[in-house]
Amino acid sequence: MLDHRAGVERGLAGLLSMLQLSDSAFPSGRYTLSYGLETQVQSGRLTMPSDPAVLAALLRDQVRLSVGPSDGVALACAHRASSNRNSFDLALVSCADQRLTAVKLSREARETSTRSGRALLRVATSAFAAEPVVALAREVTNRRLPGNHAVVLGVLSACLGVPCLEAVAGELFAFAASWVGAAVRLAVTDHVTAQAVLNDVRPHLAAAAGCAAGKDVPDISSCTPLLDVMAMRHEESELRLFAS
């Protein structure tokens, strides 16, 4: 009975850690990102308001073809490298971090990923101070690694005892919640419809997390040409509400 209770408490501790890290109050700067939505609105590809089915399809494809195979897989690799605190695999983290940067084609995507990653890392080193996190912070501070958000989160979630699958799922959900939040701020949807869109894509988030959790560095990829073009156009926009 005591062993069962201890196991339940460890599981709850991991869940609470994941909720803390994915909460919008955690200062990673995600509220500044529109993930290409702002340019799609400016170009007329999205109307105000937009068809909920269109929004759900856009979010589903971005998770399935970009965020899951790139950030999700990179997070899983970093988590795997950090699961044993006594043998932190910095080489694996480095490979995942550098490849994730390479598959982010637009400058804004790379910069926002590393900026939010460094913000997360600053808080993590102060609040949690686990040795793998400190080691990663040292590499990022010395500019030997870019410090992408997903990689930092993978290391941190492993140190906090969050299982890999739950960590990836939490990251994908945090992305989706931030995405619909940006859609609300851009007036392409309202809060009620945003919740319906999140509910619609929930099974796809779970499927993408399950797929990403078992993959390795060579599998880190992204294939969303339209979104990449939108992100590149966003860099040149005269008026911008969001950083990407």
Mean pLDDT over 12-16 rounds to 76
244 in any annotated domain: no
Read off the pLDDT band of 3 (50, 70, 90). Answer: low
Confidence of residue 27 (pLDDT cuts 50, 70, 90): low
178 domain residue, yes or no: yes
Residue 234 has pLDDT above 90, yes or no: no
Say if 3 falls within a structural domain. Answer: no
Contacts of residue 180, Cβ cutoff 8 Å, sequence gap at least 6: 55, 59, 189, 194, 195, 197, 198
Residue 19 lies in a domain: no
Question: What digits encode the pLDDT tens for the residues 48-95?
Answer: 889 999 999 999 999 999 999 999 999 999 999 998 867 899 999 999
pLDDT of residue 44: 85
In a domain, 69, yes or no: yes
pLDDT value, residue 65: 96
Q: In this structure, is residue 115 part of a structural domain?
A: yes
| Predicted pLDDT at 10 | 65
For residue 93, being part of any structural domain is answered with yes
Domain count, the chain: 1
Q: Which two tokens stand for residue 21?
A: 């890290």
Q: Could you list the residue range(s) of the whole structural domain that residue 173 is in?
A: 28-227
Tell whether the model's pLDDT for residue 7 goes beyond 60: no
> What CATH number should be reported for the domain holding residue 173?
1.10.4190.10
What single-letter amino acid sits at 170? G
Residue-wise pLDDT for 178-219, tens only, equals 999 999 999 999 999 999 999 999 999 999 999 999 999 999
Least confident of 15-29, 117-131, 210-224, 227-241: 15-29
pLDDT of residue 203: 97
Residue 9 falls inside a structural domain: no
Q: First vs last Cα of the chain: how many Å apart?
A: 51
Rounded CA-CA distance 143/171 in Å is: 24
